[in-house]
Structure 1
Amino acid sequence: MSIEVKNLSFGYCDRLVLDGINFKAEENQLISILGPNGVGKSTLFHCILSLLKGYQGQVLLNGKDTRAMSIKEMAELVAFIPQSHYPSFNFSVFDMVLMGTTVQVSAFSKPGKKQVQLVEAALERLGISYLIDRGYTQISGGERQLVLLARALVQETRILILDEPTANLDYGNQIRVMTQIKSLAKEGYTIMQSTHNPDQTFLFSDIVMAMKDGKIVAYGVPGDIFTEELIRNLYAAEVKIQSLYEDKVRVCIPKCAI
């Protein structure tokens, strides 16, 4: 499965948010989009998902233009995990994950044994089976992100788009969520995420796409593009990048702290 974006531009009123975006994401890849607030990361995702229609250019999912796809066709190809999610009702974790199987059943039928097994397998895989009967609004932020990831898995798509999946999570939950995401990429998923964490980006990503002012300013493997100059350009922050473990890890240290 692949995501291909060709010369994509989009604006709100008189403000251009995305300006000539071009890239291709392949299977077995975790692509991280790095950039400051308001740069257009979420807008890009919404264009890819056809949640925003008035863009110029082309979005292809597995070679097919999304403009020609129905909602059901989109749901069969791509699953989306938003930055935050607050349901109106306190659904159980089981029901929240089961909602991901909606595309597999008709409007006049209900989930069957297969869908229940998918839910149980996804919860087991992510190590959160103990939450199955808990209320979604009564669990922690990290647990919610894992529940949303489980819901994406039972949707049985091979493309995942995640909008800041580790935002507001404690350090342990950040690592757990990112480890699972990386594992899925290794299994053949095509995954895109947005993030504000340069260290995490270097550690887990196969490809980094840095954005500023609605444009891609750097694109490539982390070891090639992850530099002090890039961080300065994106965030107007002076940092020292420390290489560790034979350059398997790079850590950003603010110069004001040195």
Structure 2
Amino acid sequence: MSIEVSKLSFSYGDQLIFDDISFTAHDNQLLSIIGSNGAGKSTMFRCMLGLLNGYEGKVLFNGTDIKGLSIKEMAKLVAYIPQSHYPSFNFSVFDMVLMGTTTQVSSIASPGEKQIRNAQAALERMGIEHIKNRGYTHISGGERQLVLIARALVQEAKVLIMDEPTANLDFGNQIRVMSEIKSLTRDGYTIIQSTHNPEQAFQFSDSVLALKNGKILAGGAPADIFTEPLIQTLYGIDVEMQTLYEGKVKVCIPKCVIY
């Protein structure tokens, strides 16, 4: 499923958050959005999800404007993984994942065998089936993020929007989760993620969008846009970029004095 964002702009009162944003996320691809804190990434996601309605421009899913879709219709198309989530009640990990199936049953029915099997499969895919009976608020931040991704998978929407999905994970889990996210594109998912890790974006993304002060600074294939000047402009630090493994990996090394 393709996503087209056209001339998207949004303001909080007189404060312009982002302006004239246009891009396309294609079928079976991972698009990474990079930029410093306050660049407008999370707010843009909320507009794309229909959670903020005061924007200008259009968001199209397979050519359909989301402004004409109900909440339930949106839930069948797109799943959202936020940066963090703290429910009021200490549901079990399994129940948290199972909640992703609510659009598949009526409001007065309970999840059936299919939904239960899908929840179990999602837990196994993310490697967290061993904690399925633990309370969601009693697990680590990284484990909570894996639970949210599993919950998105059972929603059976083919678009996933992820707000810094590896922010709370240790290095090993970051690689495992990004590898799994990339594998989802081969299973027919279209995925948009925000990240503060340019190396991660280069290694796993099919395309990258760089935001600065609410504007698009650069966009395209990672190998085409990742340069030292881009990283310096985005984050305000001098870096040296080195290429490894015949161009498959780029590493950003800060030019700082080590005492």
TM-score computed with the length of structure 1 as normaliser: 0.98
Partner SS for 2:256:
helix
Letter of the aligned partner of 1:241 in structure 2? M
Whole-angstrom distance in 2 between the partners of 1:44 and 1:257: 36
Name the residue aligned to 2:152: 152
Alignment check: 8 A CA contact 1:119 1:154 kept: yes
Alignment check: 8 A CA contact 2:211 2:217 kept: yes
Whole-angstrom distance in 2 between the partners of 1:34 and 1:9: 18
Letter of the aligned partner of 2:103 in structure 1? V
Alignment check: 8 A CA contact 1:126 1:150 kept: yes
Whole-angstrom distance in 1 between the partners of 2:202 and 2:194: 13
Name the residue aligned to 1:62: 62
Letter of the aligned partner of 1:71 in structure 2? I
Shift of 1:186: 2.1
Partner SS for 1:54:
coil
Shift of 1:257: 4.9
Number of residue pairs matched by the alignment: 258
Whole-angstrom distance in 2 between the partners of 1:203 and 1:150: 23
Shift of 1:141: 1.8
Name the residue aligned to 2:193: 193
Shift of 1:219: 0.4
- Deviations for 1:220-257, whole angstroms, at most 9, x for unmatched residues? 11000000000011111100001001010000000115
Alignment check: 8 A CA contact 1:145 1:177 kept: no
- Deviations for 1:62-102, whole angstroms, at most 9, x for unmatched residues? 21101000000000000000000111111101100000000
Whole-angstrom distance in 2 between the partners of 1:19 and 1:95: 39
Alignment check: 8 A CA contact 2:199 2:250 kept: yes
Name the residue aligned to 2:29: 29
Shift of 1:194: 0.5
Name the residue aligned to 1:3: 3
Partner SS for 1:256:
coil
Alignment check: 8 A CA contact 2:145 2:168 kept: no
Q: Runs of 4+ in structure 1 displaced over 4 angstroms?
A: none
Name the residue aligned to 1:161: 161
Name the residue aligned to 1:125: 125
Whole-angstrom distance in 2 between the partners of 1:143 and 1:37: 24
RMSD of aligned Cα (Å): 1.0
Alignment check: 8 A CA contact 2:100 2:152 kept: yes
Letter of the aligned partner of 1:198 in structure 2? P
- Percent identity, aligned pairs only? 67
Whole-angstrom distance in 1 between the partners of 2:119 and 2:188: 20
Name the residue aligned to 1:222: 222
Map 1:25-174 onto structure 2 (within 5 A): 25-174=25-174
TM-score computed with the length of structure 2 as normaliser: 0.97
Shift of 1:184: 0.5
